Amino acid sequence: MKKNKLLWLFELVIFLDMINGAYPWFFWNVKASYLNLLFAVISILYLKINGIKLQMSNYGVGLLLLFASTFFNVNSASVSERISQLLFFVPIWVLTCDVRNSQRIFTMMAKWLSILLVPSIILHLLFLAIGFPPSVIIINENVPDNYVYFNYFFLIKNIVMEDYQIRFCSIFLEPGYIGTLLSFLLYVGKFDFKKRYNLILLVALVLTISLAGFVISAMGWVFIKLQEGKPIKRLFYILAVLGCIYWGGISYNGGRNVLNENILSRLQYDEDKGISGNNRTSHLADAYFEQYTNNGQILFGVGNQTIRKINGGSAKGASFNDQIRGAGYKIFFMQNGIVQALIILIGYMYIMKKSNRIYSVCFLLLIIITFIQASYPLSSSWLIPFVFGCLLNKKKYENRNTNISSCS
């Protein structure tokens, strides 16, 4: 049979494309244009062999808007870079045209990631218990100097940033990147912990000690529980569980524990900077954001080159607060502008147009909240889970059981 030929290869492409958004170490020094071309060619080949037609549905329109958004800022790009940006969306577009296999593909994505995370978790726990000798040093040359790691193949450990020693990041650049991806995947899987791979994803998420990952997962879990029926009863149950977690965190060992020090204390309100954990931008970034907001440049941004010039003028070895550094909506608006962000939002809304409204609106809200503290809305580790969520919760199935089931 011609059907399903190369399905395993297409599944592999979607999996690698998705985790690439979290920056696994083996892709650090591979040009994005090469990966985009390879993934696009395999996806088109899969589409042609199986007689799947490319359709300009709401998904296609949404993806086209996301691509078009990159033209609405002051960042310059060559023709080859534009082609690479377009190729980036091809595998995701093909995925939306193969709805019949979307559930199977998602299940395989979650299973493969859980299999990858098992040795990572074991190594991380051993590292915390007994420590490891120095290993091969790897450096991501595309990011600041503090991204230097010992590589244990299934686990990397940051040499420079001490707080990353106790936080789990598996093979990925930061605990926050994998934490965000895991949160989105658990929401797509509807926090169904009867499936072992979801339990592994949850354990990995807990070990990241990612504030964003915890908040997004908690909100996602609340959204799913409230959608399951009997919302008042569910709400009391949810508040009781969250209350017990909070009380345990602030009470155990006088508050001197990982949960309170890394999560709960960072949620407290501070008069100077709002939420205590709001350390996503440097002081210089905050100052320039206010300047660009006042003079109107924030609409289309000032571009990456301007940011680099400002940082290049700083003294060598300048501290975090003496450069425009950080993550979150302020950095995105300064680089790319509010207009691009609005077009991206419209693109996401088009993608969710034919999905269960409550489910997809809640997912979009999770995306927006994540955008506030880490703004990578065109990352494949955001976009692919969102597309899966919309594909697996279409309107015509609203009254059916849409829980993700294991494929045989």
Spatial separation of the C-alpha atoms in residues 108 and 94, rounded to whole Å:
17
Spatial separation of the C-alpha atoms in residues 363 and 360, rounded to whole Å:
5
Pairing verdict, β 274-275 and 148-151:
unpaired
| Residue 114 exposed, middle or buried by CB count within 10 Å (0-12, 13-18, 19+) | buried
Spatial separation of the C-alpha atoms in residues 6 and 259, rounded to whole Å:
45
What does pTM read for this prediction? 0.86
Spatial separation of the C-alpha atoms in residues 173 and 28, rounded to whole Å:
9
Task: Enumerate the domain spans of the chain.
Answer: 7-265+337-395
Can you give the pLDDT at residue 225? 85
Spatial separation of the C-alpha atoms in residues 217 and 179, rounded to whole Å:
9
- Percent of the chain scored above 90 by pLDDT? 50
Can you give the pLDDT at residue 360? 94
Structure tokens at 369: 């909240």
Residue 17 CB-half CA count within 13 A: 33
Length, in residues, of the chain: 408
The single residue listed with the structure tokens 């808007």 is 65
Pairing verdict, β 274-275 and 156-158:
unpaired
Can you give the pLDDT at residue 240? 77
Spatial separation of the C-alpha atoms in residues 288 and 292, rounded to whole Å:
6
Spatial separation of the C-alpha atoms in residues 262 and 35, rounded to whole Å:
36
Can you give the pLDDT at residue 359? 94
CA distances from 108 to 46, 156, 185, 404, 405 (A): 17, 24, 12, 11, 11
Report residues of the chain scoring pLDDT below 70. Answer: 1-3, 143-145, 230-234, 242, 246, 248-255, 257-282, 311-326, 395-408
Contacts of 116 (CB under 8 A, 6+ apart): 154, 170, 171
Phi/psi for 407 (5° steps) reads -90, 145
Contact 177, 22 (CB under 8 A): yes
Contact 351, 386 (CB under 8 A): yes
Can you give the pLDDT at residue 175? 93
| Residue 295 exposed, middle or buried by CB count within 10 Å (0-12, 13-18, 19+) | exposed
Can you give the pLDDT at residue 37? 96
Structure tokens at 125: 């726990």
